[in-house]
Structure 1
Amino acid sequence: MVTTTIWEKNLNDLESGRVRAANFIDGKWVANTEVKAQILEAFKAGVLKEENGFVDKHNLMPQSFRLEQGIRVVPGGTSVRRGAYIAKGVIIMPPSYINVGAFVDEGTMVDSHVLVGSCAQIGKKVHLSTAVQIGGVLEPIGANPVVIEDEAFIGAGAVIVEGIIVKRRAVIAPGVILSKGIPVYDIVNNRMLEKGEPIPENAIVVPGNRPVKSDNEYATKLGLTLQCAIIVKYRDEKSEASLVLEDFLR
């Protein structure tokens, strides 16, 4: 009789979608510390193994997919690590990498050169454009992962890290960087988002710059600026038309 370890069952449950590294509870996203702890246990239990010219922990080798799963993984260097959940209807263009504990829901497009980091949560019908970087987090186990909710559109080259939450149907323009240290200004509602506050539903976010504090004479003299992100509008009929996905490619 083969005994299944707790960490192995955890990886199986993650791949099947029975458990997640973060859950939406009482109106907010909360890290599942038990799940994350068992992912770390899997790393500890793993031993290095050589396979097809690569070396990794023997228990975290990449997944293989079958036709009946309804997942489209285009040839060309993509890797989906053990313990990541990929739902039916997901399309993964090469080369992309999806790390352990990640959750990618139905109908999402993962375009070329995309990273979906460990434990990141990606909703339904999300579009991750070329070269998008979604940060991952395993430690500390209580830290929330990046969450991209349903129908969000993440533009080419955007970087989203440090547990940032992007709410439903938000649009992140190409080149935007979102982290805890980068302020987000909502010029529609004349306010700055609180630290850790999610990007609101339907928000359209573009990259911006702000002056360095005026009490720094040297920075003022040189006209130096710091990076920020700006909510310039919220989705309307015009923006909907420009964001129609290429359904015929699916």
Structure 2
Amino acid sequence: MSDLNWKEVLDLMEKGEVRAANKVDGKWVANVDAKKAILAAFKDGTNVDMGDNHYPGFVDKHNMAPRNFTPNDGVRLVPGGSSVRRGAYVSSGVIIMPPAYINIGAYVDEGTMVDSHALVGSCAQIGKNVHLSAGVQIGGVLEPVGLAPVIIEDNAFIGAGAVIVEGIQVLKGAVIAPGVILSKGVPVYDCVNERKLEVGEPIPENAIVVPGSRPVNDKLGWAKEMGLTMNCAMIVKYRDEKSNESLELEEFLR
């Protein structure tokens, strides 16, 4: 693929034939060539009035015009200010509620709901039948090119206002409660298995993650004396039939 130019790569990404990250031997790995192609497209682009692309008053790189969809694509892009940027793949059966934004290099698989005020950042990979609730922020990871982007695997449920950044991976069937922040600087405690996840370790399959707090460390003596706490996330259980019932509303929204 390294012999292809950026236009060919972006075309293939829009078709879902090339991805910014791929799962190899059970581990997500960045597609460096694809990410380099995106950066090359930005470098070659010049700012223009997007009016010629039916977006009057907006200015962006001439080669980054938002995508247009037809009923044949099977994508439901509800009117009201949403946009899918050039080079992003959106599968049939995806629903995008306004306003939402899907950035270049992102991959959104079939049956996924992207709710209002949700962001799917550059190169983020979203699996099948995922629910990104209102206000969810999925960060983009374009640089460094070797770093895998944020990954949300199949059947995950991301609650309202959750923030997932810095290449964090959420594995199949996990439930992230509203307001949870996941980054490499936020520790995750598995209260079921009584362990702390390693930095960058994926959120396990079917984990139910809620916001939590932890005492400050000894380096912050005054804060510790004041009883202050810092943000963390906690796995409080793993999905079972009962917890699945609470997510059945999702099926009625499709």
Bin for the TM-score computed over the shorter chain: over 0.9
| Counterparts of 2:190 and 2:251, CA distance in 1 | 32
> After the TM superposition, which residues 156-235 of structure 1 pair with which residues of structure 2 at under 5 Å, given as runs?
156-214=160-218, 216-235=220-239
Which secondary structure does the structure 1 equivalent of 2:63 belong to?
A: helix
| Paired residue type of 1:13 | L
In the TM superposition, what is the alpha-carbon distance from 1:150 to its structure 2 partner? 0.1
Name the residue aligned to 1:95. Answer: 99
| Paired residue type of 1:28 | K
> After the TM superposition, which residues 1-250 of structure 1 pair with which residues of structure 2 at under 5 Å, given as runs?
6-51=5-50, 52-214=56-218, 216-250=220-254
TM-score by length of 1: 0.96
| Counterparts of 2:221 and 2:47, CA distance in 1 | 54
Q: CA RMSD in A?
A: 1.0
TM-score by length of 2: 0.95
Report which stretch shifted further, 156-165 or 207-216: 207-216
| Counterparts of 2:200 and 2:178, CA distance in 1 | 21
| Counterparts of 1:34 and 1:125, CA distance in 2 | 28
Which secondary structure does the structure 1 equivalent of 2:211 belong to?
A: strand
| Structure 1: gaps spanning 5 or more residues | none
| Paired residue type of 2:202 | P
Report which stretch shifted further, 210-219 or 149-158: 210-219
| Structure 2: gaps spanning 5 or more residues | 51-55
In the TM superposition, what is the alpha-carbon distance from 1:215 to its structure 2 partner? 5.8
In the TM superposition, what is the alpha-carbon distance from 1:221 to its structure 2 partner? 1.9
| Paired residue type of 1:172 | I
| Counterparts of 1:27 and 1:197, CA distance in 2 | 13
Report which stretch shifted further, 215-224 or 147-156: 215-224
In the TM superposition, what is the alpha-carbon distance from 1:115 to its structure 2 partner? 0.4
| Counterparts of 1:65 and 1:215, CA distance in 2 | 54
Which secondary structure does the structure 2 equivalent of 1:231 belong to?
A: strand
Report which stretch shifted further, 210-219 or 84-93: 210-219
After superposing on structure 2, the runs of 4+ consecutive aligned residues of structure 1 that deviate more than 2 Å are 214-217, 245-250
| Counterparts of 2:224 and 2:43, CA distance in 1 | 51
Which secondary structure does the structure 2 equivalent of 1:124 belong to?
A: coil
In the TM superposition, what is the alpha-carbon distance from 1:152 to its structure 2 partner? 0.1
| Counterparts of 2:197 and 2:97, CA distance in 1 | 34
